[in-house]
Amino acid sequence: MTPSQTNSSNARAAGATRPNQKTVLDDVGIRRALMRIAHEILERCEDLERLYLVAIPNGGVPLARILGANLKEIAGVDVIVGVLDTTLYRDDLNTGSERPLLRDTEMPSAVDERFVVLVDDVVKTGRTIRAAMDALMDFGRPKTVQVVGLIDRGHRELPIKLDYVGKNVPTEPMELVRLRGDQGNLEGALEVVVTDATERGATP
Amino acid sequence: MIGTDLLGIEDLERESIERILHTAERMQEVGNRVVKKVPTLRGRTIVNLFFEPSTRTRASFEIAGKRLSADVINFSTDSSSLKKAESILDTARTLDAMDPDVVVVRHGVAGVPKRIADVLSAPVINAGDGAHEHPTQALLDLFTVRKRKGRIDGLTITIVGDILHSRVARSNIYGFIKMGAEVRIAAPPPMIPAAVETLGVKAFTSLREALDGADVVMALRIQNERLSGTYLPSVREYSATFGIDRETLRYAKDDAIVMHPGPINRGVELAHDIADHQHSVILDQVRNGVAIRMAVLYLIAGRQERSFG
Amino acid sequence: MRKILIRGGRVLDPASDRDETADVLIEDGKIRAVGPSLDATDAEVVEAKGCWVAPGFVDLHTHLREPGQEYKEDIGSGGRSAVAGGFTSVACMANTDPVNDDPAMTDFILDRAQQSSPARVYPVAAATKGLKGKVMTEMSALKAAGAVAFSDDGKTIMDAAVMRHVLEYSKLVECPVITHAEDRKLVANGVVNEGPVSTKLGLPANPSLAEDVMVVRDLMLAEMVGAHLHIAHVSSKGAVAAIRAARERGVCVTAEVTPHHLALTDEAALGYDTNTKVAPPLRSAADVLACRAGLVDGTIDAIATDHAPHAVHEKDLEFTLAPPGLLGFETAFSVVMDLVRRSELSPLELMRRMSTNPAKIIDRPGGSLAVGELADVVILDPELRWVYDPAKGYSKSQNSPWAGKEMHGRVVATIVGGVPVYDVEHGVL
């Protein structure tokens, strides 16, 4: 579970990177970025007691946990970490023939008057963040909402800007960018991998 | 994986059932929120087409639809043209012209949802047809059992009562068998359907034998009109031979749960105190019904892109 | 009158056991000659190479719906549908509105048939007034008017004493009493055969036992009174066995079976198609096998369609409410050809059960290609493949379980009394 000792070459070996894939951010890089972001959040947060990290599954979940641990380490606060599935708020539900799988939502408390920080792994069009904001409003009236994106790959389709970015990674629209862990299910050493369009077939 | 319509459990693969149960688990969380509503089916129209009176199932579908932000419209025998001897298929065609996104059908005659689905372009969900199937009831029963027992595989389910006239029994028989349980039925012989073993169950006329080692005891409602006459001599005789009470429940496993699709005839299918017994999950069934129906509506309703023009 | 030469077909005449390639010459409405290379001067020639030439089919069991339910069928449309299916004579049941329980009604039906039907029509009169199972009809007067048999058909006479007297009285007129043998109490509200299928469908079940017990009752009554009992649409294994045993005892019994009970099982109802709803219901595979065996060994004499038209809006009702019955004429030959293809019956024996035997049961002409007989002839192509579309058929109704199905074998021409009334190219003429 604790991946801090794992170095980046191990992570790559376990993830079995294929020729058309490349790692754009390894475990060390991810942890470094999340430490920096934790510092930035502390800098900008008016009231640490009311900070609320809300992870967007699946990728946001391990990142929010690491951020929470970092905040504890730096400032000694126990930040609430929630998980908010955005699937039921998606704007593309009527286009596919098969409905997407729902993921767990676990919001340990209401968000009223909280300083909410949404945490996602890869941000592209901004549609997931839009859905997450709508979902969030059903859990109360947050004081502020900010967004962490570990990877910002551009191609925004909605007026969404990230407050905290781990790394900007320019990509082609058809490329697949995802967070993965060497133990599967986003556990173990993490890395962000770009897979080129040929791997994905015709599906955009 | 999930078809266009949900007409019966018989047509479902195990993976589809798993998918519905998985989805219902997440839908239950929505029901626990302060704002019990998600925008998933906003702008979609669900028509509850009920040819047979039903308070619970209709309300359950209505709440489920509303929690998903759909507009829910109720057509029932009292408020529509159904009494004017219009054929069911004409009713379906009329409805189709109003362009619903999903139609939930209940009818006292087996096969009506299937035949309506054959002429309707919108997906159809069977909310109970005659003595055929009641798939969402079976799904919520599976969901309830799995939540209580942690599994379905390997359990022994005993269904007691009027199997012949029960759609709940048929759907549960298909569902529990597909999910790996052993299903037994117990009923007075006139209420056991012909060749019932072809459904994969073992039939008993002794309640004690049927309950022996059971993990789940499911009592079915006996319709009032069948409480005396050619199927049964009397209420008293039925409750004495097939009623579930503390005494007969002792033959089941110690941690056996008691289920009933409702409404209960207290003192007939279940002794007065059994419905409120610690092992009774009857109210859980009702609660879980909404989550199951939300799951089914989510997986079925409005999946196809609407065309404009 | 017209002179027609049917040339080069396989002539199947059960009455004379003839099965050979020959010509058939028709003149003045009669069979003039049957033999090789007949003289064809001044005759219309019908080439029948590769086809079968047989006596026109005789259907003992049909519902023509006139008077009273002309929206389903009338004697004209029914007659046209009959000849399109190769039937040159049809017996029509009495459950019209009003019921055919009075000589005036029998007259009316025969008048209408004269005016509008290309097929010969033989009325079956009611056995009891109003089909109520209580008071016997005036069989003598009805016979004089043209009735060929007596039956309450679907309204089975439940009172055994009434049935006994009906059978006794029928000896006076020497006509068969036709029984639709189903115990209505055991049928209750059953709409599909009781068994795995009814259990799966969740529809009220009708046990084959309901048929068995009534067949046995009627056989015992017929045996006791010594009357001619004809059992309609045999569908159960038990009924076939009971009839076989009764025949061995010398009971005067004849029986018919429908194409649908020979070809379809109750599993056809699994999609809730009301066009598979029929009385008695489609039965199990074992019952179907028993019916086929009974037809082959002579326990069952005849194939009858039980042609029962119902309007689309009626069949659009719930399975329990939709009326039972299905169209029979235009699909019958194609459906029963399966018995020949599976070598259960020879072509000649199939023709016997389609024409010779049923004509004999009601003691009417037909079923024979002997010289001097009525020229009621059917020409059949046993190999022709076609798709049945009831909307393009001649019945006013469309209730057929074979709609849209590919059929194998087809009626290519029908001649009634020496006059061509149907051919596959031009339809009913």
C13 flagged as catalytic? no
B167 contacts C316? CB cut-off 8 A: no
Sheet holding A176-181, edge to edge: A21-25, A190-195, A176-181
| Neighboring chain B residues of C196 at a CB cutoff of 8 Å | 194-195, 198
Nearest chain A residue to B40, by CA: A88
B115 contacts C202? CB cut-off 8 A: no
pLDDT of residue B119 exceeding 70, the answer is yes
Nearest chain A residue to B23, by CA: A102
Interface residue B5 vs chain C (CB under 8 A): no
**Residues C233 and C356 both lie in one domain:** yes
- The backbone torsions φ and ψ at residue B211, rounded to the nearest 5 degrees and listed phi first, read -85, -15
Q: How many residues does chain B have?
A: 309
Distance CA C235, CA C245 (A): 16
**pLDDT at A184 (0 to 100):** 77
**Could you tell me which of C7, C3, C24, C56 has the C-alpha nearest to residue C332?**
C56
| Neighboring chain B residues of A98 at a CB cutoff of 8 Å | 1-2, 303
Distance from CA of B23 to the nearest CA of A (A): 6
**pLDDT at B302 (0 to 100):** 66
Residue C414 structure tokens: 């029908």
The percent of residues in chain B predicted with pLDDT above 70, rounded, is 93
By Cβ distance, the residue of C200, C203, C316 closest to B87 is C316
Best residue of C189, C194, C265, C272 to probe chain B, by most B CBs closer than 10 Å: C272
H-helix or E-strand containing C8?
Answer: strand C3-13
Distance from CA of B1 to the nearest CA of A (A): 7
**Residues C357 and C380 both lie in one domain:** no
- How many interface pairs between A and B have CB atoms less than 8 angstroms apart? 55
pTM of the model: 0.92
| Neighboring chain C residues of B191 at a CB cutoff of 8 Å | none
Q: How many CB atoms lie within 10 A of CB A79?
A: 23
Distance CA C196, CA B197 (A): 9
- Residues C99, C100, C106, CA angle at the centre, nearest 5°? 150
| Neighboring chain B residues of C198 at a CB cutoff of 8 Å | 193-194
Mean pLDDT of A105-128: 96
B196 contacts C199? CB cut-off 8 A: yes
As its CATH architecture, domain B14-134+287-300 has 3-Layer(aba) Sandwich (3.40)
Contact yes or no, B with C (3+ CB pairs under 8 Å): yes
* Partner B, chain C 40-99, Cβ-Cβ below 8 Å: none
Interface residue B106 vs chain C (CB under 8 A): no
Nearest chain C residue to B167, by CA: C202
Fold of A8-89+102-200: Rossmann fold (3.40.50)
Q: Which amino acid is at A82?
A: G
**Residues C173 and C306 both lie in one domain:** yes
**Residues C222 and C159 both lie in one domain:** yes
Distance CA B226, CA B214 (A): 27
Q: What DSSP letter does each residue of C125-184 carry, written as one string?
A: EPSBGGG-SSSB--HHHHHHHT--EEEEETS----HHHHHHHHHHHHHHT-PEEE----H
**Residues C38 and C72 both lie in one domain:** no
Mean pLDDT of A79-85: 97
Contact yes or no, C with A (3+ CB pairs under 8 Å): no
By Cβ distance, the residue of C196, C317, C319 closest to B110 is C319
Of C102, C306, C376, C381, the active-site residue reads C306
pLDDT of residue A149 exceeding 50, the answer is yes
Interface residue C245 vs chain B (CB under 8 A): no
Distance CA B235, CA B237 (A): 5
**pLDDT at A7 (0 to 100):** 42
Best residue of B5, B91, B115 to probe chain C, by most C CBs closer than 10 Å: B115
**pLDDT at C174 (0 to 100):** 97
Distance CA A195, CA B11 (A): 39
Q: Which amino acid is at C400?
A: S
Distances (CA, A) of A158 to A94, B139, C196: 19, 39, 58
Q: Is residue C166 part of a domain?
A: yes
What 3-state class would DSSP assign to B182? Answer: strand
Interface residue A98 vs chain B (CB under 8 A): yes
Mean pLDDT of A151-161: 95
B35 contacts A138? CB cut-off 8 A: yes
Q: Is residue C154 part of a domain?
A: yes
Mean pLDDT of B282-289: 94
What 3-state class would DSSP assign to C69? Answer: coil
Q: How many CB atoms lie within 10 A of CB C171?
A: 15
H-helix or E-strand containing C382?
Answer: strand C377-387
| Neighboring chain B residues of A141 at a CB cutoff of 8 Å | none
For residue A185, name the pLDDT band (cuts at 50, 70, 90): confident
Mean pLDDT of B256-279: 90
| Neighboring chain C residues of B110 at a CB cutoff of 8 Å | 201-203, 272, 319
CATH superfamily of domain region B135-286 = Aspartate/ornithine carbamoyltransferase (3.40.50.1370)
User: What ranges do the domains of chain A cover?
Assistant: 8-89+102-200
B298 contacts A99? CB cut-off 8 A: yes
H-helix or E-strand containing C53?
Answer: strand C52-55
- Calculate the dihedral angle through the C-alpha atoms of C27, C29, C33, C34, rounding to the nearest 10 degrees: 130
Which CATH number covers residue C198? 3.20.20.140
pLDDT of residue B177 exceeding 90, the answer is yes
The percent of residues in chain B predicted with pLDDT above 90, rounded, is 76
Interface residue A99 vs chain B (CB under 8 A): yes
By Cβ distance, the residue of A97, A104, A110 closest to B26 is A104
By Cβ distance, the residue of B23, B33, B34 closest to A102 is B23
For residue B228, name the pLDDT band (cuts at 50, 70, 90): low
User: What ranges do the domains of chain B cover?
Assistant: 14-134+287-300, 135-286
Contact by Cβ (8 Å): C221, C164? yes
B303 contacts A88? CB cut-off 8 A: no
- pLDDT digit string, tens, across residues B204-224: 999 999 999 999 999 999 987
Cis peptide before C280 (omega within 30 of 0): yes
Domain B14-134+287-300 and domain B135-286 have a common topology: yes
Beta bridge partners of B280: B258
Distance from CA of B308 to the nearest CA of A (A): 14
**Residues C46 and C113 both lie in one domain:** no
Contact by Cβ (8 Å): C127, C137? yes
Residue A13 structure tokens: 């070996």
Nearest chain A residue to B294, by CA: A88
Q: pLDDT below 50 — which residues of chain C? A: none
Q: Number of H helices and number of E strands within chain B?
A: 10, 9
- pLDDT digit string, tens, across residues C17-48: 999 999 999 999 999 999 999 987 899 999 99
Interface residue B134 vs chain C (CB under 8 A): no
Q: List all chains that touch chain C, counting a touch as 3 or more CB pairs closer than 8 Å.
A: B
**Residues C8 and C65 both lie in one domain:** no
Q: Could you tell me how far CA C57 lies from the centroid of its own chain?
A: 9
Q: How many CB atoms lie within 10 A of CB A112?
A: 12
By Cβ distance, the residue of C194, C198, C318 closest to B109 is C318
What 3-state class would DSSP assign to B107? Answer: strand
Range of the domain at C186: 56-361
Q: List all chains that touch chain B, counting a touch as 3 or more CB pairs closer than 8 Å.
A: A, C
Domain count, chain C: 2
- The number of C-alpha atoms within 13 Å of C19 and in the hemisphere containing its C-beta is 9
pLDDT of residue A9 exceeding 50, the answer is no
CB neighbour burial string for C314-344, b if at least 16 within 10 angstroms, e if fewer: bbbbbbbebbbbbbbbbbbbbbbbbbbeeee
| Neighboring chain B residues of C199 at a CB cutoff of 8 Å | 193-196, 198-199
- pLDDT digit string, tens, across residues B33-75: 989 999 999 999 999 999 988 889 999 999 999 999 999 999 8
Mean pLDDT of B126-144: 98
Contact by Cβ (8 Å): C253, C226? no
For residue A92, name the pLDDT band (cuts at 50, 70, 90): confident
**Residues C43 and C180 both lie in one domain:** no
